[in-house]
Amino acid sequence: MVNIKFEGILFEMEDQRNWGDASYKIYSGSLLDPFPYLEKEGSNFSQTIKIDVINKKQRSFPSKNIVKIDHTTSYKFPKIGIKIDSLIIPDDNLINNFDYYYYLIDFTKDFTNVTSRSQKKIFLVALVDHTNDPDGELTKIYNFIIENKVNLDKILICPKIYLNSFQPAGVWPEVPELNEYYKIAKKKFSNSQIVSGMVTNFTELNRKRPRIFYDLVSFSFTPIVHDSSDFGVLNTPETIPYILKTLKNFSNSSDVHIGPISIGMHFNPYGESLVNNKKKIRLEMADSDPRHDQLFSLTWTLAVFIQSINKESKFFTFNSIYGHHGILNKDNTKRPLYHLNNFLISLSNSEIFKFNPINEVYGLKILLNDKKYYLFVNSSKQKKEINTPELNISYQNKLNLKNYSDIFKNGFSFFNFKNDTNPYTFEPLEIKFIEHK
């Protein structure tokens, strides 16, 4: 038993798993107190935390780091999308194979310059003016879709002001109920999925819960809200199951879309704008991150993906085609995350099972085209060892810091298996894709 006692001035604790951080933040002073805090010169105050442990026992770990697979539950491989900045989509084999295209339009601005007509399935994210009548805002969107012959697969309506964060006990703007927008959308776009939720991260969805959830609920994920260090970012996959459990508790087990999922941020609800990361360093709330084109980003993305898989998680959007979060350069040459997205799309229609994570190693068993594969990722910067009794290795592809340059060679594929007899040792940040005998 652990007893924790706080003494002195008032403490508050923030569960930062809300933001994806694997941590809690303890601070003095309450958010309900007047701000700024005033302290008289010479005043004394103290903070004390006392922790007593009774009947302490040695923590036990599974012997020999044995990783077991949960055979009781199988999942259908989720659909994978890509964020686009224009309905003009480049002619590329991978780009044409995404299940849908996440397209955000700010309808509070001039949006009439769209001239292309695409038959791709569009997941439209529409930012609207909360001061206008909801029906008028939805009519504006409807006219845009008809005029541009948009193949509307999904639509998320979000008052633009909700890109900002509002403290639970603070002053909130007068915004129509989210469900007013959803109900109108359901009538106008009866052949499309109506998506509830937020454009930003889970914290804002948790604070702005719709009363009714329609076909899907959505939120995005970034790991650099509070801590951009390698250690902090690599810990964020641990928080995903807690986030999804909380979401399930208040969304009536609605199907889930998560995205965009990237290290760099797309929106900053907690400041005036994103931080312009000109020096290309590890920086909180920045528009870009220097690890985006490194093995680090592939490892982190896969760990988040594996941790996010459950019965409700049906759609994932990881990256953009171009830009800070892109998979292609301006000249359409391939960036590293191009290959990761290509790999995930190649697993479409597979049946998957999850391994119970151990030692920061996450894994999947994949049944595809009558073949059996295993995917593992070491989400740490330390060498790890695991053991799984059912693994009968034939060939494997390893991507680690030693051979990462191979990803830039023509013909790279995660299916380029090689004969290897040691599937149990993982180099730092290593990804392994194994073909079973």
Domain limits, the chain: 2-63, 64-70+353-436, 78-346
What is the secondary structure of 275-327 as a DSSP string? Answer: B--TT----TTBS--TTTTSHHHHHHHHHHHHHH-SSSEEEEEEEESSSTTBS
The pLDDT, as a whole number, for residue 332 is: 96
By three-state DSSP, how is residue 245 classified?
helix
Is pLDDT at 34 greater than 90 in this prediction?
no
Cis peptide bond upstream of 389, omega within 30: no
Q: Are 125 and 162 in contact (CB under 8 A)?
A: no
Is pLDDT at 104 greater than 60 in this prediction?
yes
- Higher model confidence: residue 310 or residue 70? 310
Q: Are 398 and 289 in contact (CB under 8 A)?
A: no
Q: Rounded CA gap, 314 and 226, in Å?
A: 28
Q: Rounded CA gap, 408 and 134, in Å?
A: 48
Residue holding tokens 């038959």? 119
The pLDDT, as a whole number, for residue 328 is: 98
How is domain 78-346 classified at the architecture level of CATH?
Answer: Alpha-Beta Barrel (3.20)
Choose the weakest-confidence range: 8-17, 92-101, 357-366. 8-17
The pLDDT, as a whole number, for residue 115 is: 55
Q: Per-residue pLDDT averaged across 358-373, rounded?
A: 94
Q: Rounded CA gap, 264 and 277, in Å?
A: 10
CATH homologous superfamily for 64-70+353-436?
Answer: Golgi alpha-mannosidase II (2.60.40.1180)
Is pLDDT at 387 greater than 90 in this prediction?
no
Q: How many residues does the chain have?
A: 437
Supply 386's token pair. 């695991």
CB atoms within 10 A of CB 148: 16
Is pLDDT at 63 greater than 60 in this prediction?
no
Q: Rounded CA gap, 420 and 402, in Å?
A: 16
Q: Rounded CA gap, 399 and 377, in Å?
A: 10
Q: Per-residue pLDDT averaged across 44-65, rounded?
A: 76
Least Cα distance to 206 among 20, 24, 79, 26 occurs for 20
- pTM score: 0.92
Q: Rounded CA gap, 311 and 294, in Å?
A: 31
Q: Percentage of the chain with pLDDT > 70?
A: 96
CB atoms within 10 A of CB 380: 20
Is pLDDT at 117 greater than 70 in this prediction?
no
Q: Are 257 and 195 in contact (CB under 8 A)?
A: yes
Is pLDDT at 422 greater than 80 in this prediction?
no
Supply 129's token pair. 């003016």
Supply 253's token pair. 């087990």
